[in-house]
Structure 1
Amino acid sequence: MAKKAKRIQELLKKVDLTQEYSLENGIKTVKSLASAKFDETVEIAMKLNVDPRHADQMVRGSVVLPEGTGKKVRVAVIAKDVKADEAKAAGADIVGDDDLVEEIQKGNINFDVLIATPNLMGLVGKVGRILGPKGLMPNPKTGTVTMDVAQAVKNAKSGQVNFRVDKQGNIHAGIGKASFSQEQIMNNASTFIKAINKHKPSTAKGRYIKNAALSLTMSPSVKLEIQELLDLK
């Protein structure tokens, strides 16, 4: 534990905890904090001025990051006949219907994203209690319940990030890797923030984004200037 504490102390010397960084400088600073033996994920955390207890203030959706996430995503699709063939052709790792549901019931979840056609959501419902807590339940709002399974598979493979505000109004997502260039992370960060702004509920009052920060998997966080984020449309 002492070794870890010392590492964090060294990283903290590179961060001004009293400062709010521009997005560009925040990314530059965060990249300089890479210290792990693996390629750390660049993470963004935002606190929104919404009350998710009210359905009309729930912020949920998905966005495809232009530079990808740097993570290999395993995609499963619950579909039949032609749609199953389309999913396989698009590069889905696992395709099935009753057989796939049986595997999920056994606890064999060898995928990161699950896509389903609308007509088979009744089948998916059988394993909702298993998928829900893991954040794997298909949902139309994230584009994972669709007849266009080919596009959904391509989106998931190319860097789609799903987001959902928690009970405290927080949203958290990975937007790239420490090995990404400054420009790549900037493109992904801007795209993600624009998506959050686009999903602002009409009933939300006051300043929509209360605070935000960037960090790596194993680094201190860097506070961001809020007005710059609010201006990204």
Structure 2
Amino acid sequence: MARKISKRVAKNRDGIDRDRYYPLEEAVKLIKERASAKFDETVEVAMNLGVDPRHADQMVRGVVNLPNGTGREVRVAVFARGEKADEARAAGADIVGAEDLVEAVQRGEINFDRCIAAPDMMPLVGRLGKVLGPRGLMPNPKVGTVTPDVAAAVKASKGGAVEFRVEKAGIVHAGVGKVSFDDQAITENVRAFADAVIKAKPSGAKGNYLKRVAITSTMGPGVKIDLGSLAAS
């Protein structure tokens, strides 16, 4: 039995050729025109990569500072003591602590979207791997969330830093803005994200690394992107 789609979904898909690969600028316009939710939808990008993340040398992970921010308020927690804790608070961290914050997380009180740790806190934070790891919140020096410069990390997180990590199926995805952003801001953010993922190509990746890219909004249809249009003109 064919799956029945709603009138809203059918209307949103109208005018989009699901077999066509659109130039990025045109795809952004299509997404914005079809964003009909009563809230400011997130623009999301998904990239299908030619990697098998089950192999350590094919893992893709990193962080990118989007030039126009994400449009989302990010709650940042910092594990730090003394001067580092003061620096984190001054930079705008929402939650700062040491043993007390570890205990709160162990109780299931995870009231933050991003987690940063000063290096000397990692023996404590390491106990939280089973709690923070599955949520993608475990601090990691490779993405700048274990750092002596906690203030800079907080400001980056608040200003539009987006962490990415390839999933089992070889897909990387992230929110790169809001439909309320102008076309140019979304386009620049998508290109910045794609560039970061391309630069993160692992040594073990063979053959075609970047296979397919699509963008969508929270409640909207997906639009395939012409890979050649991802490079800045």
Q: 3-state SS of the aligned residue for 1:151?
A: helix
Give the Å deviation of 1:232.
5.9
- The residue number in structure 1 matching 2:133 is 132
- The residue number in structure 2 matching 1:182 is 183
Give the Å deviation of 1:129.
0.9
- Whole-angstrom CA distance in 1 between matches of 2:132 and 2:165: 16
- Whole-angstrom CA distance in 1 between matches of 2:151 and 2:83: 11
- Whole-angstrom CA distance in 1 between matches of 2:96 and 2:61: 26
- Does the alignment pair 1:12 with 2:5? no
- The residue number in structure 2 matching 1:54 is 55
Q: 3-state SS of the aligned residue for 2:52?
A: coil
Question: Structure 2 vs 1, CA of residues 4 and 39 (structure 1 numbering), >3 Å: closer, same or farther?
Answer: farther
Question: Structure 2 vs 1, CA of residues 228 and 207 (structure 1 numbering), >3 Å: closer, same or farther?
Answer: farther
- Does the alignment pair 1:208 with 2:212? no
Residues 48-197 of structure 1 aligned to structure 2 (within 5 Å): 48-197=49-198
Question: Structure 2 vs 1, CA of residues 4 and 111 (structure 1 numbering), >3 Å: closer, same or farther?
Answer: farther
- Whole-angstrom CA distance in 2 between matches of 1:53 and 1:133: 16
- Whole-angstrom CA distance in 2 between matches of 1:232 and 1:11: 28
Give the Å deviation of 1:186.
0.9
Q: 3-state SS of the aligned residue for 2:122?
A: helix
- Whole-angstrom CA distance in 2 between matches of 1:129 and 1:204: 29
Q: 3-state SS of the aligned residue for 1:7?
A: helix
Give the Å deviation of 1:227.
3.1
TM-score by length of 1: 0.95
Task: List per-residue Cα deviations over 1:176-212 (Å, max 9, x = no partner).
Answer: 0010000110111111011011111233222211111
- Whole-angstrom CA distance in 2 between matches of 1:135 and 1:203: 23
TM-score by length of 2: 0.95
Q: 3-state SS of the aligned residue for 1:219?
A: coil
- Whole-angstrom CA distance in 2 between matches of 1:4 and 1:57: 37
- Whole-angstrom CA distance in 1 between matches of 2:227 and 2:184: 20
Identify the range of structure 1 (35-44 vs 201-210) with the bigger mean alpha-carbon deviation: 201-210
- Whole-angstrom CA distance in 1 between matches of 2:207 and 2:5: 40
Cα root mean square deviation, aligned: 1.7
- Does the alignment pair 1:28 with 2:10? no
Cα contact 1:213–1:224 (8 A) shared by 2: yes
Give the Å deviation of 1:4.
7.2
Q: 3-state SS of the aligned residue for 2:6?
A: helix
- The residue number in structure 2 matching 1:221 is 222
Flag as ranges the 4+ runs of structure 1 deviating above 3 A: none
Structure 1: tracts of 5 or more residues without a match: none
- Whole-angstrom CA distance in 1 between matches of 2:127 and 2:133: 11
Number of paired residues? 231
Letter in 1 for 2:10: Q
- Whole-angstrom CA distance in 2 between matches of 1:68 and 1:226: 23
Give the Å deviation of 1:132.
1.1
Letter in 2 for 1:116: A
Question: Structure 2 vs 1, CA of residues 130 and 187 (structure 1 numbering), >3 Å: closer, same or farther?
Answer: same
- Whole-angstrom CA distance in 1 between matches of 2:205 and 2:41: 34
Residue identity (%) = 57
Q: 3-state SS of the aligned residue for 1:175?
A: strand
- Whole-angstrom CA distance in 1 between matches of 2:128 and 2:114: 14
